[in-house]
């Protein structure tokens, strides 16, 4: 499977990223199939090769979450509504008990 991901480069604490297409099993900084863009998180500079990105997405390449966000900002992908964070059992229990307390408090006030 081909993934669209960010490849880190630059000096220590002054990182930049290249947006690359690579095999999903390859290393983060391994040799990519194709370089598709650039992103600098400090200056928020983004350069995207839109033709190549459309081609790769048409071939079924899957973007990572960070790349998906960049593509949404660049207008190449529609914003995807992501589900809310799944709560753990303890937090779910706390929310249920809080709702029960609110319900009983509203019943007693009526």
Architecture of the domain delimited by 2-74: 2-Layer Sandwich (3.30)
Helix H, strand E, coil C: the string for 67-106 is: HHHHHHHHCCCCCCCCCCCCCCHHHHHHHHHHHHHHHHHH
The whole model's pTM is what? 0.67
What separation, in Å, do the N-terminal and C-terminal C-alpha atoms of the chain show? 60
* Rounded-to-integer distance, Cα 48 and Cα 110, Å: 60
Residue 45 confidence (pLDDT): 92
Question: Per residue in 62-85, pLDDT tens?
Answer: 999 999 999 998 888 888 776 777
* Rounded-to-integer distance, Cα 16 and Cα 51, Å: 22
């Amino acid at each position: 499977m081909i993934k669209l991901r960010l490849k880190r480069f630059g000096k220590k604490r002054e990182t930049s990223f290249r947006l690359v297409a690579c095999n999903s099993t390859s290393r983060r900084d391994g040799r990519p199939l194709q370089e598709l863009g650039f992103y600098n998180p400090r200056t928020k500079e983004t350069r995207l090769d839109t033709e190549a990105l459309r081609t790769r997405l048409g071939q079924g390449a899957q973007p990572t979450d960070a790349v998906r966000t960049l593509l949404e900002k660049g207008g190449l992908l529609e914003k995807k509504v992501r589900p809310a964070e799944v709560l753990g059992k303890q937090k779910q229990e706390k929310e249920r008990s809080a709702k029960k307390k609110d319900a009983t408090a509203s019943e007693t006030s009526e």
